[in-house]
A and B are shown apart, each in its own frame.
Chain A
Amino acid sequence: MNHTFTFTIDGVEVRGRPGQTIMQAADEAGIYIPRLCAHKELVPHGSCRVCTVFVNGRPQSACTQPAAPGIIVENETEALLAIRRSLIDMLFVEGNHFCPFCEKSGNCELQALAYRFGITAPQHPYLFPKRDLDASHPDIFIDRNRCILCGRCVRASRDLDGKNVFQFVGRGPGKRIAVNAKAALADTDAARTDRAVSACPVGAILRKRVGYAIPIGQRMYDAAPIGSDIEAVRADPHQ
Chain B
Amino acid sequence: MTKTNAGQRIVIEPVTRVEGHGKVTILLDEHRKVKHARLHIVEFRGFERFIQGRPFWEVPVLVQRLCGICPVSHHLAAAKAMDRIVGGEKLTPTAEKVRRLMHYGQMFQSHSLHFFHLVSPDLLFGFDADPAIRNVIGVAKKFPELGVQGVMMRKYGQEIIRITAGKKIHGTGAIPGGVNKNVSIEERDFLLKDLDQMVVWSRAAVKLCKDYTMEHLAELAPFGSFDSNHLALVREDGAMDLYHGNLRAIDAAGKKIFDQLDYQEYADHIAEEVRPWSYMKFPFIKALGPEKGWYRVGPLARINTCDFIDTPEAEAARKEFMAVTKGAPNNISLAYHWARTIEILHSIEKIKELLHDPDLQGEDLVVKGPRREETVGLIEAPRGTLFHHYRINSNDQVVMANLIVSTTNNNEPMNRAVTKVAEDYLAGVTITEGLLNRIEVAIRAYDPCLSCATHALGAMPLEVELRAHTGELVDRRVQA
Contacts and interface: CB of A to CB of B under 8 A. Distances in A.
A212 B180 contact: yes
A221 B134 CA distance: 45
Interface in A127-155: 133, 135-136, 141
B58 interface: yes
Given A101-B61, A101-B62, A215 B181 contact: yes
B170 interface: yes
B5 interface: no
A133 B395 CA distance: 11
B16 interface: no
B55 A141 contact: yes
Contacts of A100: 65, 170
Interface in B33-67: 53, 55, 57-58, 61-62, 65
Nearest to A141: B55
A212 B65 contact: no
Nearest to B368: A209
B61 A103 contact: yes
A209 B396 contact: yes
A214 interface: yes
Interface in A186-220: 208-218
Contact of B175 (A135, A213, A217): A213
A215 B397 contact: no
Contact of B395 (A136, A211, A214, A215): A136
Contact of B173 (A136, A209, A215): A215
B172 interface: yes
B180 A215 contact: yes
Nearest to A136: B395
B55 A212 contact: no
Interface in A94-110: 100-101, 103
Interface residues of B, number: 22
B221 to A, nearest CB: 44
Contacts of A218: 181
A216 B173 CA distance: 8
B175 A211 contact: yes
A211 B173 CA distance: 11
B62 A211 contact: no
B329 interface: no
B13 to A, nearest CB: 30
Interface size class of A (residues with CB under 8 A): 10 to 19
B167 A141 contact: no
Contact of A135 (B166, B180, B397): B397
A100 B167 CA distance: 12
A74 B181 CA distance: 43
B396 A208 contact: yes
B53 A212 contact: no
Interface string B166-183: 110011110110001100
Contacts of B397: 133, 135
A42 B332 CA distance: 69
Contacts of A208: 55, 57, 396
Interface string B293-326: 0000000000000000000000000000000000
B50 to A, nearest CB: 10
Interface in B69-109: 86
Contacts of A211: 55, 57-58, 61, 175-176
Contacts of A217: 166
Contacts of B55: 135, 141, 208, 211
B171 A141 contact: no
Interface in B155-192: 165-167, 170-173, 175-176, 180-181
Contacts of B53: 133, 135
Contact of B167 (A103, A135, A209, A216): A216
B180 A213 contact: yes
Nearest to B53: A133
Contacts of B61: 101, 103, 211-212
Nearest to A218: B181
Nearest to B62: A101
Contacts of B165: 216
Nearest to B366: A213
B166 A216 contact: yes
Contacts of B181: 215, 218
Contacts of A133: 53, 397
A141 B166 contact: no
Given A100-B65, A135-B397, A215 B58 contact: no
| Closest 10 A/B residue pairs (Cβ) | A216-B166, A211-B57, A212-B172, A135-B395, A215-B181, A101-B62, A215-B180, A101-B61, A135-B397, A215-B166
Given A100-B170, A135-B395, A218-B181, 17 more contacts: A101-B65, A103-B58, A133-B53, A135-B53, A135-B397, A141-B396, A209-B57, A209-B396, A210-B57, A211-B55, A211-B58, A211-B175, A211-B176, A213-B180, A214-B180, A215-B173, A216-B167
26 contacts: A100-B65, A100-B170, A101-B58, A101-B62, A133-B53, A133-B397, A135-B396, A136-B395, A141-B55, A208-B55, A208-B57, A209-B57, A209-B396, A210-B57, A211-B55, A211-B57, A211-B58, A211-B61, A212-B61, A215-B166, A215-B172, A215-B180, A216-B165, A216-B166, A216-B167, A217-B166
Interface of B: 53, 55, 57-58, 61-62, 65, 86, 165-167, 170-173, 175-176, 180-181, 395-397
